[in-house]
């Protein structure tokens, strides 16, 4: 082990291929189903909304998929992302544990999301697409796709959940700086948006609604495709650069993690760090892998593993995943990126197979952890990432109680520079730990489609 | 030359000493004068507001001053900062020039300011100080000192110019996350603040007023010292880690700059990058060195080189510098960090000796440059740093016109994540290029103290 704090891989050691966990799963992933027929989906069913290269990756069981050179070129603007030893946090906690974090906030958009936004923009451009449509909640994904679109000369239209659109003007400004168009959702531009507005003209929107609008735009315009920032297999695939880099950097540090922690909303930053380590576990390694989700939207810990829609308008395929029901409306929180009723099918599958653990924490205890971290290490975590910080601190304090000098590695998936209102609310004592409504959850789960 | 985009120095190559240009100046710097007596200042005059170690550095003519190990430890949280080749910007401009930038936005507070905040906090802590007072305009300096204070267990009180306090709640939230207290200036906590409020209860404040308040607090409380984020010699000294690292990184790139560009407000980020290169120029190298300032506050290009006060309340020593007069009120702009009537005496001296050039640009052309940069390289420049971007682009286009393949190195002193309102205003066409008032400047210059 060295005295160093930061571990930077040289650019030439940046992974040249993404890792596809589908190749190594002991039980294959249940297939996505067509929403109308209930039959397994073919590539043609996805062609209206995704480019061929992305569809091929979505369905691939190849172990390694080459990262195209132009994507590597863009990755090099910020990748390899640093691995950092949180020595000051260790001292602040008085733990014998060694705490490392992979810091994805160094990307231009401030989170791990560009890892998949960039290849998605590249493949679309390559297939002649002119415009990408997408949705965004808190804005991390929308600004990442806006950034990627600007580099490849694609127009980008972002349907932003209306409450975030109004609360986060700086996220909008970021997307516009990259040249994207940002639309408050529900909007009058789509049939799905108009249907919602007819019922509730003052709707604040939701991620499920915004997905419906973005998918509709892509499905009905020839020059436009859709891009999704989480959940799907190809998104998890692209994020594995995180874990592949982390493994090489842990070697540079002369160490190896006993526990890995990441937060889960749609599951992609978790997948990115965890899947390469799960590969090693399947070969005999014994790294504990912990997913942390918000107590107010506890998909993995309280959801049902079943086929469900990804959106509110029921335009998406049915996928087998942990779900709270597509009609479930999680209580408001500052972690917009974790407020999703479903979970990546691949992450859900991994959880079902016992290849990872899951736990949940309330919002205020996560902010408390984030402030402890910020005062020790300087970096302000995104509210979503604060769940991983909390999970890592819980593990570090367990090590302290048990007198164990374990190595903990967590994914700091983004910074909170655009979320400072959340910190203001936390310090003012205005943050609520609003529990979800048990009866609403029961009702949402009772409406799951009867398939699979 | 290599194909790489980013050049990361290994931690062990981080400079172990700051470079003091005072050791190599062909003509010594005119001394600071006591405001009451007009006589050269002694160390005792500064003792009420600064710790001894800082006073010694302020007056030192030693060439190299060791960076204390605890300061290096903190620097390692983000230093060495990357040097990045802006290949995409080069292509976007169609220039044969090679454009490099040193990126200081990777620090926790998002700018170069922690380079001096950290040693200042360290020396104060070492000498038993309990609390630091300071002022901040846009908030870059205040959040940097808040960060540094949190690491060394010092209380930090920041007098924030009232208009920024109200316009930039997220900067305030950042300071509070690091545990600092943020006070709108002018305040009723100080005699200087009360005097301003008596005359104008609705005063929006200014940097000069906030400095008076912070200095007064330090001078009147035994356990409190003052910290300044720019202008003074010791601040320029601490910033030289930027240039020393950049030199090693340009070597890694197999290249050497023909032109260096940095923005100037108080002068410290410019000094940080430029002074080590000026040392080499004094030994025979021929790097052009360009300071870029806002046209609305053109200290180096339109100011008078004369003794003047650093603050509005005339509590500070008199220093010889380029000044627009301590009563000059620059028009409003989004580059709060460049809205200062004076300039670092060392930078002014260097300009007088012909060791650097100076130029100025209007706000909107700087934002235009920043957007071009953001869409090519992904990083959103701080409004202050956009002046350096503009300066570098002007040089790159000159190279294109002249068919010269020069190497340009500029300092990207910070990111603009807390300044997105400025970008929103720019896109909405609401940015004004408000010229300064010629008669006001004349009046301010006519009131310069008659000394020196």
- The closest alpha carbon to A446, from A306, A312, A300, belongs to A306
Q: For the segment A13-29, what is each residue's pLDDT rounded down to a tens digit?
A: 999 999 999 999 999 99
Interface of chain A toward chain B, CB-CB under 8 angstroms: 4-6, 8, 11, 76-78, 84, 88, 106-110, 147, 150-151, 169-170, 172-174, 176-179, 371, 374-380, 417-418, 420-421, 423-424, 427
Asked if residue B321 and residue B190 are part of one domain, the reply reads: no
Count of C-beta atoms within a 10 Å radius of residue A424: 18
Residues 6+ apart with CB under 8 A from B128: none
- The closest alpha carbon to B349, from B28, B38, B64, B58, belongs to B28
Q: Distance between CA atoms of A42 and A49, rounded to whole angstroms?
A: 13
CATH number at residue B217: 3.40.50.1100
Asked if residue B390 and residue B422 are part of one domain, the reply reads: yes
> What residues form DSSP beta bridges with A84?
A6, A101
CB contact under 8 A, A378 and B77: yes
- Chain A: residue nearest B153 by CA? A375
CB contact under 8 A, B420 and A78: no
Asked if residue A122 and residue A97 are part of one domain, the reply reads: no
Q: Distance between CA atoms of B281 and B386, rounded to whole angstroms?
A: 26
Q: For the segment B253-303, what is each residue's pLDDT rounded down to a tens digit?
A: 999 999 999 999 999 999 999 999 999 999 999 999 999 999 999 999 999
- Name the minimum distance, in Å, from the CA of A432 to any CA of chain B: 18
The interface predicted TM-score of the complex, written ipTM, equals 0.95
- Chain B: residue nearest A150 by CA? B375
Q: Is residue B279 assigned to a domain?
A: yes
Q: Is B403 left (phi over 0), alpha (psi -120 to 50) or beta?
A: left
Three-state SS at A400: helix
Asked if residue A200 and residue A346 are part of one domain, the reply reads: no
A·B CB contacts under 8 A: 122
Q: Which residues of chain B have pLDDT under 50?
A: none
CA atoms within 13 A on the CB side of A272: 33
Asked if residue A122 and residue A104 are part of one domain, the reply reads: no
- Chain A: residue nearest B418 by CA? A417
* DSSP one-letter string for A71-96: HHHHHTTTPSPPEEE-HHHHHHHT-S
Q: Is residue A349 assigned to a domain?
A: yes
Q: Is residue A41 assigned to a domain?
A: no
Domain count, chain B: 2
Asked if residue B263 and residue B379 are part of one domain, the reply reads: yes
Q: Is residue A30 assigned to a domain?
A: no
CB contact under 8 A, A108 and B78: no
* Best of B6, B110, B386, B416 to mutate (most A CBs within 10 Å, chain A): B6
Asked if residue A317 and residue A197 are part of one domain, the reply reads: no
Phi/psi of residue A424, nearest 5 degrees? -60, -45
Domain of B379, in residue numbers: 6-13+67-110+234-446
Phi/psi of residue A302, nearest 5 degrees? -125, -5
Residue at a domain's end among B186, B207, B233:
B233
Q: Distance between CA atoms of B275 and B287, rounded to whole angstroms?
A: 11
- Name the minimum distance, in Å, from the CA of A75 to any CA of chain B: 10
Q: What is the pLDDT of residue B334?
A: 84
Interface of chain B toward chain A, CB-CB under 8 angstroms: 4-6, 8, 11-12, 76-78, 84, 88, 106-110, 147, 150-151, 169-170, 172-174, 176-179, 371, 374-380, 417-418, 420-421, 423-424, 427
Q: Distance between CA atoms of A85 and A79, rounded to whole angstroms?
A: 18
Q: Distance between CA atoms of A71 and A125, rounded to whole angstroms?
A: 12
Q: Is residue A406 assigned to a domain?
A: yes
Asked if residue B260 and residue B305 are part of one domain, the reply reads: yes
Q: Distance between CA atoms of B165 and B142, rounded to whole angstroms?
A: 11
Residue at a domain's end among B178, B210, B233:
B233
Q: What is the pLDDT of residue A136?
A: 94
CB contact under 8 A, B150 and A417: no
Residue at a domain's end among B210, B233, B256:
B233
Asked if residue B143 and residue B130 are part of one domain, the reply reads: yes
Phi/psi of residue B326, nearest 5 degrees? -70, -15
Q: What is the pLDDT of residue A1?
A: 59
Asked if residue A311 and residue A389 are part of one domain, the reply reads: yes
What are the pLDDT tens digits along chain A (452 aa)? 567 899 999 999 999 999 999 999 999 999 999 988 999 999 999 999 999 999 999 999 999 999 999 999 999 999 999 999 999 999 999 999 999 999 999 999 999 999 999 999 999 999 999 999 999 988 999 999 999 999 999 999 999 999 889 988 999 999 999 999 999 999 999 999 999 999 999 998 888 889 999 999 999 999 999 999 999 999 999 999 999 999 999 999 999 999 999 999 999 999 999 999 999 999 999 999 999 999 999 999 999 999 999 887 788 899 999 999 998 888 888 888 888 899 999 999 999 999 999 999 999 999 999 999 999 999 999 999 999 999 999 999 999 999 999 999 999 999 999 999 999 999 999 988 988 999 999 999 998 998 85
Asked if residue A84 and residue A206 are part of one domain, the reply reads: no
| Closest CB from B108, B170, B371 relative to A420 | B170
Asked if residue B409 and residue B340 are part of one domain, the reply reads: yes
Q: Is residue A415 assigned to a domain?
A: yes
């Amino acid at each position: 082990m060295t005295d160093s704090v930061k571990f930077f891989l040289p650019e030439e050691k940046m992974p040249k291929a993404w890792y596809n966990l589908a190749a190594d799963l002991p039980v294959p992933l249940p297939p996505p189903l067509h929403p109308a027929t209930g039959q397994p989906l073919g590539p043609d069913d996805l062609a209206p909304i995704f480019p061929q290269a992305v569809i091929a990756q979505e369905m691939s069981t190849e172990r390694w998929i080459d990262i195209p050179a132009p994507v590597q070129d863009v990755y090099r603007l910020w990748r390899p992302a640093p691995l950092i030893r949180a020595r000051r946090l260790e001292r602040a906690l008085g733990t014998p544990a060694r705490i490392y974090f992979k810091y994805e906030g160094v990307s231009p958009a401030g989170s791990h999301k560009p890892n998949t936004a960039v290849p998605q923009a590249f493949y679309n451009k390559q297939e002649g697409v002119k415009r990408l449509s997408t949705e965004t909640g808190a804005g991390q994904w929308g600004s990442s796709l806006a950034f990627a679109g600007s580099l490849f000369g694609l127009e980008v239209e972002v349907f932003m959940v209306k409450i975030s659109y109004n609360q986060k003007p700086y996220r909008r400004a970021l997307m516009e700086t990259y040249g994207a168009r940002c639309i408050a959702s529900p909007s009058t531009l789509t049939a799905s948006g108009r249907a919602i507005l007819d019922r509730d003209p003052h709707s604040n929107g939701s991620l499920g609604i915004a997905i419906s609008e973005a998918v509709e735009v892509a499905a009905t315009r020839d020059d436009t495709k859709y891009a999704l920032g989480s959940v799907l297999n190809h998104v998890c695939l692209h994020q594995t650069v995180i874990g592949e880099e982390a493994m090489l950097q842990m070697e540079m540090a002369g160490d190896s993690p006993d526990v890995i922690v990441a937060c889960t909303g749609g599951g992609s930053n978790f997948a990115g760090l965890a899947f390469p380590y799960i590969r090693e576990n399947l070969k005999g390694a014994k790294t504990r892998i912990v997913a942390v989700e918000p107590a107010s939207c506890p998909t993995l810990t309280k959801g049902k593993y079943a086929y469900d829609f990804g959106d509110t308008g029921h335009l998406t395929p049915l996928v087998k995943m942990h779900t709270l029901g597509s009609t479930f409306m999680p209580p408001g929180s500052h972690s917009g990126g974790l407020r999703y009723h479903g979970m990546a099918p691949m992450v859900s599958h991994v959880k079902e197979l016992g290849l990872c653990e899951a736990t949940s924490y309330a919002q205020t205890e996560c902010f408390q952890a984030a402030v402890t971290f910020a005062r020790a290490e300087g970096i302000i975590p995104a509210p979503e990432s604060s769940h991983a910080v909390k999970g890592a601190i819980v593990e570090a304090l367990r090590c302290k109680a048990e007198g164990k000098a374990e190595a903990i590695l967590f994914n700091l998936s983004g910074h909170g520079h655009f979320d400072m209102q959340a910190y203001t609310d936390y310090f003012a004592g205005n943050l609520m730990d609003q529990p979800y409504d048990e009866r609403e959850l029961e009702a949402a789960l009772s409406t799951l489609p009867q398939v699979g």
